[in-house]
Structure 1
Amino acid sequence: MEKQSPFIPLYLPLTQRSLRVAVVTETYPPEINGVALTIQHMVEGLRQRNHQIQLIRPRQGTGDMPAFTANLQQILLPGFAIPRYPNLQLGLPAGSVLRKLWRASRPDVVHIVTEGPLGWSALNEARKLDIPVTSDFHTNFHSYTRHYGIGWMRRPIGAYLRHLHNRALLTMVPDRGLRHELETQGYQNLAIVGRGVDTDLFNPARRSMELRHSWGVSRNGLVVVHVGRLAAEKNLEAVVDAFDAMSARHPRAKLVWVGDGPQRSLLQARNSGHIFAGMQTGIDLAEHYASADVFLFPSLTETFGNVTLEAMASGLAVVAYNYAAAAEHIHHGENGLVAEFDNLSLFCDQAAILAGRPEMVARLGSNARQSADGLAWSKICERFEQLLLEIVDEGGRHGKQDRFIPGSDSNLGPGAMSPL
C-alpha cells in the first residue's frame, strides 16, 4: 500500500471552530446508492464549514486513486465485492493500518458509516486510542436475510449490528420511526439526523418531452416510474401489481424502471411491455424522474429511502408505504399517498386512484415539490456538525468513551483551535 500523508495543517482564527473528522465508509461515489450519496453530502458539508476530513474507504477498482485537497484526504484500503453486488465493496479488517495512521495524526472524532469489517476495525482502534466514535445506521441488513435464503442469520446479524452501534457514543438515524424501532431492540444513544435533497438537480423543470416520446407516451399520457436497485429486498412484485391495477383504469399507461440489479433480467422476462432504462445518474436521472407522473415505492426494508425525496422534489405524485421517508414527509392526500405498512391491497388501491384522476396527480406532485423545497442539505449538515462538536466536547471533558446523550439544542460557543 502506498504511503499515506497525514492531515494537512490548517490554521483558523480563534473564533472559528474546526474538527479533524475521520469518516470510515465502505461505500462512496462513484458507487451509486443512497448511503454513498448521503455521506458524500455530509463530507462536502463539513468541508465547506472548514472541517478537515480523512475519508477512509475501500478502493473501487484499479483506476481508483486517492484524492487530496486542502481539507480532504482519502485513504484507500483493500476490499472485496459483495456477493450478488459486484459493483459494491466491503472493506477488509485494517486495525494495524488505522492504528498507525491515527497515532501519527489523531482525529478529534471517528465517524463510522457502515458496519462491515472495516467499520468494526475502526471502532476497535478508535476506542483503544480513546478517540470519540459516532456511527450511522443506514441499512437494515438483518431485514434482507429472508430475501436471500438465510433467514436463520437474522438474529445473529441483528445482534452484531446492535453491539457495534452501542459501542459508539452516538448512532445517527434518519427519522423518528427508525429511532423508535431501534430503541425497542435495545439500541442506545440515538439521535435523528435527517436527509436532504438537491432541489436544483431534482426539479420539475427537467421534464423532457423528447424522453417521454421515446417511451411512446403522448403529452397527456401517464408515466409511472420506479427508481432504485432491482433486488429481492425491494419488494418489486408490488410495483408490478400496483401498475397492473393502474393499467386497468388507464390501459395506455407506461411503467419505467430506472436502476439495475440482480432481479432485472427476471423482471424483464416477465414484463416485456415495461421500459427498463437501466442505471441513470446526474441530470439523466433527474430527467427520468421529472418526465414521469407517478412514483411507486413499495420497499419494506428501507432505513429511509432517499428516492422518495428525489421523486417529491421532481414534482411526482408518490405512492409509498407509511414508514421511513414517506412517514416523515408525506401527508396523505396532500402531497402524496401512503398505505398501511405491508398492506399490498391498499397500496395497489392508492395507485389505481391516481390512474383515473390526472388532476389529483398534478396537485399532489405540485405540493410534493413545495414540501421538498424545505429539505436543503445545508440544514442536515449543520445538524450533523453540531452533534460531532458536542461529542468531541463531551469526550474531551470525560477523557474516555463514557456514555452520554448530546443535547439536540446545545448552544455551542467558539473554541480555540491549535495547529493540527
Structure 2
Amino acid sequence: MRIAIFSDTYAPEINGVARTLKRYTDFLEKRGIEYKLFVPESSTPFPAVPQVQRFTSIPFVLYPECRIALPNPIHIRQTLDEFQPTLIHITTPFNLGLFGHHYGRKHQIPMVASYHTNFDEYLDYYHLTFMEKWIWKYMNWFHRPFEKVFVPSKHTKDKLLKKELHSNIDIWGRGVDHTFFSPTKRSNKIREKHNIKEKNILLFVGRIAPEKDIHIVLETFHALPENVKKETHLLVVGDGPQLKPLSEANHKQITFTGFMEGEELAEVYASCDAFIFPSPTETFGNVVLEAQASSIPVIGAKAGGVQNLIEDGINGYLCSEKNVEEFVRSTTILLEDKVLRKSMGERAREFANCQSWDNIFNQLLHSCLSVQERIKRHTA
C-alpha cells in the first residue's frame, strides 16, 4: 500500500486537522506503510522529511491557520509518477486537494476523502451566508469521484448524508493520549502563575474566534449567580483574531493565557474544575476529549460533533447552542457540587480511556485496504 495524501494544513500548524494528520503519518511510519504527503509550507519552521513535500502558500481568509498552497504541478506529477500510489487520500478540498483529485481521476487510482471542517457553518460568523449554496454545489461535485468519505462523528455523517454529499460515508473518529492528558498532572502552577485565588477554575481551550462562540463563554461567566461567580476564575486558553481585543478589556476574574501546548496545557486541563465549550461548529471537538481524559466534566453545545462525546447528565452537560441561560444553569450545578463534579469527571475519564489512537487508525487503514481490494476485484 502506497498512500498519497493531500492536505492544506499539517504540523507544526496548530489545529485539529493538522495534529490528527501528523499522528496518522506517525502511525503509517510505525506500520512501515509508504506515503507521500503534499502540504503548504508552514509559517513556523519545521524539520524537513523526504515523505513530506511543502509548497508556497497564503493564509485562507476564513481560517488563517489553514493555508492555500500554490503548488508546482509539474513537480507534484513527477513525484507521483515515481511513487506510483495505490491510494489517494484528500483531506481538504482546495488547491492541493484539487490536484490530487485530478491526478487520481486521470490515472484511475482509488481515492478517499476526509471531511474535517464545517466551513458552511462559519459563513454566518463572517457575514458570508450568500456563499452557502455555492459551497455545497462545489463540495458535492468535489466528493463525487471518491470511493469513500471519512467523517469524525455521527452528527457529521448524518449532516452529509442529508446534503447528499456521498452515499458511502464512514466514521473516522479521533483519539486522545490518556497518559499525557491525565488527572495525575493536577498542580497549583497555573494558580501561582496567574495569581488565582478563587476556589474553582472554569476553563475554555480553543481558537479565540467568532465561530467558537467565545462570547457565550464570557456571557455565561458574567451571568453566574453572585455566590458562585465570586468563587470562580475563568481561564481562557488559545490564540485567534479575538484574543487581542478581549484580553485588553478589563475582565475581573478572567485570565487570557494565549496559546499553550505540551505539558503546560496538560497541567492546565488537570488543574481546572470544569470545562465550557459552546462552539456549535465542530465536526468532532478534540479539546473536549482532552478535557475528559483529564477527568474534567464538560459543559458543551448540543450541536456538531461535541454532542457525540458528552453523555448529558453522566459525564457532563449538553446545552442548546447559544442558550446562555442553559449554560449558566449547567455550569452552576457543577461548580456548586464537588461530589457531582468528581463523579462526572471519573465518567469522562472512563470514556476517554476507550478512545485509543491506534484502534482508530487501524480501523481507518482497514477501511482503506477494503477500498483497494474492492477496486481490484472490479477491474480484474
Instruction: Find the aligned partners of 1:51 and 1:247 in 2 and give their Cα distance.
Output: 55
CA contact (8 A) 1:246 1:355 kept: no
CA contact (8 A) 2:281 2:304 kept: no
Q: Provide the secondary structure at the position in 1 that maps to 2:59.
A: strand
The one-character-per-residue Cα deviations of 1:107-151 (angstroms, maximum 9, x if unpaired) are: 110111112111111111111111111111000111111111211
Q: Does 2:296 align with 1:313?
A: no
Structure 1 residue identity aligned to 2:81: R
Structure 1 residue identity aligned to 2:52: Q
CA contact (8 A) 2:7 2:39 kept: yes
The aligned counterpart of 1:178 is 156
Q: Percent identity?
A: 32
The aligned counterpart of 1:332 is 312
The one-character-per-residue Cα deviations of 1:164-193 (angstroms, maximum 9, x if unpaired) are: 122211110111111111101012111111
Greater relative contact order (Cα < 8 A, sep 6+): 1
Instruction: Find the aligned partners of 1:157 and 1:349 in 2 and give their Cα distance.
Output: 37
Q: Does 2:205 align with 1:227?
A: yes
Q: Provide the secondary structure at the position in 1 that maps to 2:280.
A: coil
CA contact (8 A) 2:150 2:171 kept: yes
Instruction: Find the aligned partners of 1:258 and 1:62 in 2 and give their Cα distance.
Output: 20
The aligned counterpart of 1:10 is none
Q: TM-score normalised to the size of structure 2? A: 0.94
Q: Does 2:238 align with 1:238?
A: no
Change (3 A) 1:393 1:47: same
1:53 maps to which of 35, 39, 56: 35
The aligned counterpart of 1:44 is 26
Q: Aligned residues, how many?
A: 377
CA contact (8 A) 1:175 1:192 kept: yes
Q: Does 2:204 align with 1:217?
A: no
**Cα drift, residue 85 of structure 1:** 5.3
Structure 1 runs not aligned, ≥5 long: 1-18, 401-420
The aligned counterpart of 1:30 is 12
Q: How does 1:112-131 map to 2 (within 5 A)?
A: 112-131=90-109
Aligned residues: CA RMSD: 1.9
CA contact (8 A) 1:82 1:90 kept: yes
2:261 maps to which of 257, 261, 281: 281
Q: Provide the secondary structure at the position in 2 that maps to 1:246.
A: coil
**Cα drift, residue 325 of structure 1:** 4.0
The aligned counterpart of 2:241 is 262
Instruction: Find the aligned partners of 2:348 and 2:14 in 1 and give their Cα distance.
Output: 24
Instruction: Find the aligned partners of 2:355 and 2:43 in 1 and give their Cα distance.
Output: 34
Q: Provide the secondary structure at the position in 1 that maps to 2:159.
A: helix
2:175 maps to which of 196, 205, 210: 196
Q: Which has the higher helix share?
A: 2
2:118 maps to which of 118, 140, 143: 140
Change (3 A) 1:65 1:368: closer
The one-character-per-residue Cα deviations of 1:190-223 (angstroms, maximum 9, x if unpaired) are: 11111101111111111121222333335x8100
Q: Provide the secondary structure at the position in 1 that maps to 2:54.
A: strand
CA contact (8 A) 1:294 1:317 kept: yes
**Cα drift, residue 271 of structure 1:** 4.9
Structure 1 residue identity aligned to 2:41: R
Instruction: Find the aligned partners of 1:117 and 1:100 in 2 and give their Cα distance.
Output: 17
